[in-house]
Amino acid sequence: MFFHPPDFCVKVIVMSLFKKKCENRILPRHIAIIMDGNGRWAKKHSLPRSSGHVAGAKTFKDIARYCNKIGLEYLTVYAFSTENWKRPKEEVDNIMNLLRDYLKDAENFKSDNIKVKFIGNLEPLADDIKALMKKDEEGSKDATGLKLNIAVNYGGRDEITRAVKKIVADGVKPEDITEDTVSDNLYTAGMPDPDFIIRPSGEYRLSNYLIWQSAYAEYWFSDILWPDFKPRHLEEAIDDFNRRNRRFGGV
């Protein structure tokens, strides 16, 4: 092997430029992703919709690990909405079984130091799923890496309705209700609001996702179907986030 000084110099320059780019960029504190497009991905590959959900679950694990690696604080993913029960029973069963398999996988994120929390109305879920979710949360409660929220049977309107019911049941006087009172009664209480919402699959809507919390979020939409979503797409999105001028109503 011969040492080629020019090659070496080019490598050092490229690496230091990359490092500088990483150092200068701002990472959102809380990214929320609508993991959409599994069905269309399956169709594109002439596969059943269930295969799309399997591929989507793999992407979810890869992206969560990547977010942890780059030092993101919070990631909240939309796995199943309060509206998704409208799908054929077979598909709902498939998704629930996939969730069950994911939860049974002891490997999960244990070695990654990721702290897992499930958000949504978990009550109607099967007892074994609820028990596995609890186990997953308990098992990762001391993790100090990425805080990963997985939204299951989640709906923004349902979440706000529940918060209102709780505030009324707690006997809080109307004059004492502030925006913080509402925030403190949502599933995301104590967390920073998502500052960046990512939706692949070519749809331009929130589909009832974090509607209170995303009031001032930045949005990134893309035609990529969720199973095809790679860390480089996330990087592209974060670069875009860095070009946004966030004014929060100011000048």
- In the complex, what is the shortest distance from the CB of residue 70 to Mg ion, in angstroms, rounded to a whole number? 27
Q: Which of residues 35 and 132 has its CB atom nearest to ligand IPE in the complex?
A: 35
Q: What is the 3-state secondary structure (H, E, C) of the chain?
A: CCCCHHHHHHHHHHHHHHHHHHHHCCCCCEEEEECCCHHHHHHHCCCCHHHHHHHHHHHHHHHHHHHHHCCCCEEEEEEEECCHHHCCHHHHHHHHHHHHHHHHCCCCCHHHCCEEEEECCCCCCCHHHHHHHHHHHHHCCCCCCCEEEEEEEECHHHHHHHHHHHHHHCCCCHHHCCHHHHHCCCCCCCCCCCCEEEECCCCCCCCCCCCCCCCCCEEEECCCCHHHCCHHHHHHHHHHHHCCCCCCCCC
- In the complex, what is the shortest distance from the CB of residue 94 to Mg ion, in angstroms, rounded to a whole number? 14
- In the complex, what is the shortest distance from the CB of residue 208 to ligand IPE, in angstroms, rounded to a whole number? 8
Site for Mg ion in 178-217 (CB under 5 A): none
Active-site pick, 24, 38, 68, 84: 84
Query: Does residue 84 carry a catalytic annotation?
Result: yes
Query: Does residue 36 carry a catalytic annotation?
Result: yes
- In the complex, what is the shortest distance from the CB of residue 41 to Mg ion, in angstroms, rounded to a whole number? 10
Active-site pick, 36, 112, 136, 193: 36
Binding residues for ligand IPE, rule: CB under 6 A, are 34-40, 78-81, 84, 95, 201, 203, 205, 207
Q: Which of residues 118 and 145 has its CB atom nearest to ligand IPE in the complex?
A: 118
Q: Which of residues 46 and 111 has its CB atom nearest to ligand IPE in the complex?
A: 46
Residues that bind Mg ion (CB under 5 A): 36
Q: Kindly list the catalytic residues.
A: 36, 84
